[in-house]
């Protein structure tokens, strides 16, 4: 059969590629050198007990396996709107919320509602690979915005990238893979830029709970006119430790959400009911548990930061935040994919190459902090130091 060339030209999932690479490793090495898997941003803990109990209840309920309304369960939409209105000191209603099967799906349907073949979407570097993959496979051109020296994207730099074909600007804050949080004032500047050009500002706020502050991530929802420009995407996978239940949300104007619902009805009909019930319970009954998990991830970041502060083997943390460390390797004359392969097969450590998030090779690695405890952080430092020594000894 003939495949569509635009889709066929798309890259394979970097996570899938990492898992395929891991399959090449000899599992017998685990006896003396257990695999340190720092590739995927997966929570290291189970869901809150309240959430687990509710999932069991729904599983026993004869109606628990039925369809949910396409926009999402009404109580969940209200809970999302209420929490965001509180956390952002803004005005969001249930009508502004559509529940999706994860934040990746939220981005995909929003992008399809806004842009098509031949259009452009501005995305800052480093980008999230699934965003880039989806846009390219839909015939939309990602236009890359270089950040400043601190990896913060700046609206003043984006202005020159806007063309008549631009349909949206995408900000990921905190960033995946960088962990960098865009300052609220800069987000406002991007919103003003988008409004001047009558394009959308898409904010992927998957990791908003894992910032170093409980202050509002931005003040945009306090503006009564936010719906003319702002589209905010959310995930509950890390926040509530339910990645397999696939629940995210779109927060946007009802006019945009109407288009989103058309797409959802074709690709998923609705997000899984059991996942929606889990998230509703987590948002309304697991507040203390959520706060403790945010503190736990912050501790894991601190352990990793301390362990790599001395640049073992020449590996240097460039940024550290949310679930990620963005690390530069020291081997200027080696492709990053080769470095990642050696770290796995020779040093039993799996990370994601930075080339999955960039248009070129900048010697970067993404390290997830989810599975890092104090011992794992020390082990990583030792293995990176050994990698640096081994390569140096062969030159």
Instruction: Determine the average pLDDT of the residues in 73-83.
Output: 98
pTM value is 0.94
| pLDDT value at 36 more than 90 | yes
For residue 147, what are its two tokens?
């950040």
Mean pLDDT across the stretch 208-228? 95
Average pLDDT, the chain: 95
Q: In this predicted structure, what is the pLDDT of residue 195? A: 97
Kindly tell me if the per-residue pLDDT of 392 is higher than 70: no
| Sign, Cα dihedral of 57, 58, 60, 63 | positive
Indicate if 296 and 277 belong to the same structural domain.
no
Q: Say whether both 383 and 237 belong to one domain.
A: no
- Sequence-ordered list of residues with C-beta below 8 angstroms from that of 343, at least 6 positions apart, any chain: 349, 350, 351, 383, 384, 387
Which range of residues forms the domain containing residue 304?
5-46+289-393
pLDDT for 391: 61
**Same domain as 85, residue 37:** no
CATH number reported for the structural domain that contains residue 357 in this entry: 3.90.1150.10
Is the domain of 281 the same as that of 302? no
Rounded mean pLDDT, 252-258: 97
Residues 307 and 175 placed together within one structural domain of the fold = no
For residue 270, give the nearest of 62, 59, 109, 56 by alpha carbon: 109
Mind listing the pLDDT tens digit for each residue in 120-172? 999 999 999 999 999 999 999 999 999 999 999 999 999 999 999 999 999 99
Domain boundary at 237, 262, 285, which? Answer: 285
Same domain, 274 and 385: no
Statement to judge: residues 161 and 229 lie in one domain: yes
Q: Which of 265, 285, 305 is the last residue of a domain?
A: 285
Residues 268 and 351 in one domain: no
Please compute the mean of the pLDDT values over residues 327-338 and round it to a whole number. Answer: 96
Total domains in the chain come to 2
The predicted model gives 89-106 an average pLDDT of 96
| Residue 275, pLDDT score | 96
Q: What is the CATH number of the domain that holds 212?
A: 3.40.640.10
* Residue 285 vs residue 389, higher pLDDT: 285
Taking each helix axis from N to C terminus, what angle separates 374-393 and 287-307, rounded to the nearest 10 degrees? 30
Residues 79, 56 share a domain: yes
């Amino acid at each position: 059969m003939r495949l569509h060339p635009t889709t066929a030209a798309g890259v394979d999932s970097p996570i899938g590629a990492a898992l395929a690479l891991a399959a090449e490793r000899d599992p017998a090495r685990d006896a003396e050198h257990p695999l340190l898997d720092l590739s995927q941003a997966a929570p290291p803990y189970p869901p809150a007990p309240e959430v687990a109990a509710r999932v069991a209840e729904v599983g026993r309920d004869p109606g628990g396996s039925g369809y949910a309304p396409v926009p999402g369960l009404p109580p969940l939409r209200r809970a999302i709107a209420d929490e965001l209105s509180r956390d952002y000191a803004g005005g969001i209603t249930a009508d502004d919320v559509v529940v999706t099967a994860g934040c990746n799906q939220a981005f995909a349907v929003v992008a399809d509602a806004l842009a098509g073949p031949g259009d452009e979407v501005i995305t800052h570097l480093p980008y999230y690979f699934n965003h880039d993959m989806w846009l390219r496979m839909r015939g939309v051109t990602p236009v890359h915005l270089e950040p400043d020296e601190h990896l913060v994207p700046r609206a003043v730099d984006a202005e020159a990238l806007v063309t008549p074909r631009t349909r949206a600007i995408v900000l990921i804050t905190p960033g995946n893979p960088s962990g960098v949080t865009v300052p609220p004032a800069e987000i406002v500047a991007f919103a003003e830029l988008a409004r001047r050009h009558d394009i959308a500002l898409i904010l992927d706020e998957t990791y908003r709970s894992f910032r170093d502050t409980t202050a509002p991530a931005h003040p945009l929802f306090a503006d009564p006119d936010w719906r003319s420009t702002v589209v905010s995407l959310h995930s509950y996978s890390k926040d509530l430790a339910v990645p397999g239940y696939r629940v995210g949300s779109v927060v946007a104007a009802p006019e945009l959400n109407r288009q989103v619902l058309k797409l959802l009805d074709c690709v998923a009909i609705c997000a899984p009911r059991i996942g929606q019930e889990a998230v509703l319970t987590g948002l309304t009954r697991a507040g203390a548990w959520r706060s403790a998990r945010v503190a736990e991830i912050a501790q894991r970041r601190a352990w990793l930061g301390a362990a790599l502060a001395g640049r073992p083997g020449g590996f240097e943390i460039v940024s550290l935040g949310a679930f990620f460390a963005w690390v530069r390797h020291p081997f200027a004359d080696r492709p990053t994919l080769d470095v990642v392969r050696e770290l796995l097969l020779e040093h039993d450590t799996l990370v994601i190459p930075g080339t999955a998030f960039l248009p070129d090779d900048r010697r970067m690695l993404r390290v997830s902090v989810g599975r890092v405890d104090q011992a794992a952080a020390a082990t990583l430092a030792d293995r990176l130091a050994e990698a640096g020594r081994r390569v140096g000894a062969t030159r």
